[in-house]
Amino acid sequence: MAEVRDVVQLGDPVLREVARPIADFEDEGMQRLIDELMVTLRQSNGVGIAAPQVAVPYRLLIVASRPNARYPHAPEMEPTVMLNPRWEAVTEERVKDWEGCLSVPGIRGLVPRYREIRVEYCDRTGHLQQQVLTDFVARIFQHEFDHLEGLVFLDRVESSQELMSEQEYLKRVV
Ligand code: ZN
């Protein structure tokens, strides 16, 4: 059974590091880390997680949208593990929507993100995959990818007036 890992919070310098590329996909420690990220994500009602959030600065993220207490309207999808991901916008169109983060507890912010993106990544067996992501799932990916660059969603919020406590968010927005 994979262990639930502690999620580091804003202020921990690991969240500000640029994460390192993964060279050995079959490494036992890497495969264990993927399993641990999966159970940590599920246990914390997240829809995505990046390895730096458990203090491991490697280029690994999981996108796993599904409805839960923190995101009641999230679409359901198979959790997707992405190693060494890259992406580009398909169109210039950006939309603002509310985001939260397991590493920034209690706060939501309005963040502009590209609506449609093309992503390329290695799956956990090392095979190259390509996908087009849209809307909420594209938003999750861009949020998690930012963690690999040492950024958090607060860095993308355009005004402090577009921040809200989690409690008010759940009362007013959901
Ligand atoms: Zn986050």
Dist. CA 116 → ligand 1 center (Å)? 19
For 13-172, which CATH superfamily applies?
A: Peptide deformylase (3.90.45.10)
Query: How remote is the CA of residue 93 from the centroid of ligand 1, in Å?
Result: 22
Give pLDDT, residue 69: 82
- Give the model's pLDDT for residue 173: 83
pLDDT in tens, 65-109: 988 888 888 889 999 999 999 999 999 999 999 999 999 999 999
Residue of 17, 78, 92, 144 marked active site = 144
> Is there a catalytic annotation at residue 144?
yes
Q: What is the pTM of this model?
A: 0.96
Residue with tokens 């203090």: 55
Place of tokens 């607060």: 154
pLDDT tens-digit map of 99-141: 999 999 999 999 999 999 999 999 999 999 999 999 999 999 9
Q: Give residue 76's identity as a one-letter amino acid code.
A: E
